Chain A
Amino acid sequence: MVAVPTSLRGVNYSVTVDVTLRAGIADPEGATIERALPALGFSGVSAVRAGKSFRMNVEADNEEAALAKATSLAQRLLSNPVMEDVVARITSEA
């Protein structure tokens, strides 16, 4: 196997993608969690929204390209655009 020089490879970026319900879409999970909090002694917590978080390593030439790739795959597969929004962010260089 011929090793590919490091200079020709993209860098692996650690990317976190958050998938959350769009504003205006009812969130029964978030509402249930919020209602449970006072019973546990946590007061003053509101607007709880439940969602999903995905972590992945993305090979790309730079951060922008890594984020673009992660956002694209998140919109295609990880989320349903009818009811969810996605936000991708760089967590660190993997």
Chain B
Amino acid sequence: MARIGVVVFPGSNCEYDAANAVSELGATPVFIWHSANDLGEVDGVILPGGFAHGDYLRPGALARFSPVMAAVQHFADNGGAVLGICNGFQVLTEAGLLPGALQKNRGLTFLCQPSTLVVASTRSVLTRNATVGQHLSVPINHFSGSYTCDDATYESLVANDQIVLRYLDNPNGSRDNIAGVSNEAGNVVGLMPHPERAMSTLLGSADGRVLLGGFVGLAATASL
């Protein structure tokens, strides 16, 4: 059974949602405290949402220097599947594991609402089970979610098929409606929406299963 590490920073608050989603998809979640120097035996890693280190300075600015991030970097460099959700996405961009940055929403309001995502690439560990153009209903819950990058970075994102998900109706002013991006290899992915909160139609949407199912399934394959 695949083991998925869920990194917990002081101020993380979506780690149980992420762990529950992992369990529901048939894998074993393992919490990893931010001061750990290694990840232990895991087949994939999730950086969950929240307010790591209080989001002081900038979201992710202090979390990227937590000891565990060196281990996450090492894991990613060796092809390990890494997923950053919301605050986890911000941490991955601050750490340089993903290109670009997240700045304050265009309307300067905290957004907590459903969003419709359009799958832009299936080359990533998160979207491998989806189809290009597929619409997914996944909630957003953030203040600094407006994706930004310079022109050269944007051109390389497009050229390398690294734009993974776009918003149908851009709620936060992100460049080119970008909701999620991957690294060049596709094994590191970050997105602002919360797929771990879209696991049940009873609670609004089960579309998160398409995304997290792919991620957990890939990690399971890696563990064989």
Contacts and interface: CB of A to CB of B under 8 A. Distances in A.
A48 to B, nearest CB: 14
A17 interface: no
A77 B94 CA distance: 10
Contacts of B103: 21, 25-26, 83
B112 interface: no
Interface size class of B (residues with CB under 8 A): 20 to 34
Contacts of B58: 80
Interface of A: 21, 24-26, 28-29, 32, 77-78, 80, 82-83
A80 B149 contact: no
5 contacts: A21-B103, A26-B146, A28-B105, A28-B173, A82-B153
A28 B104 contact: yes
B101 A78 contact: no
B148 interface: yes
B107 A26 contact: no
Nearest to A22: B150
Contact of A29 (B104, B148, B149): B104
Contacts of A82: 93, 100-101, 148-150, 153
A11 B57 CA distance: 27
B106 interface: yes
A31 B104 CA distance: 12
A83 B102 CA distance: 9
B61 interface: yes
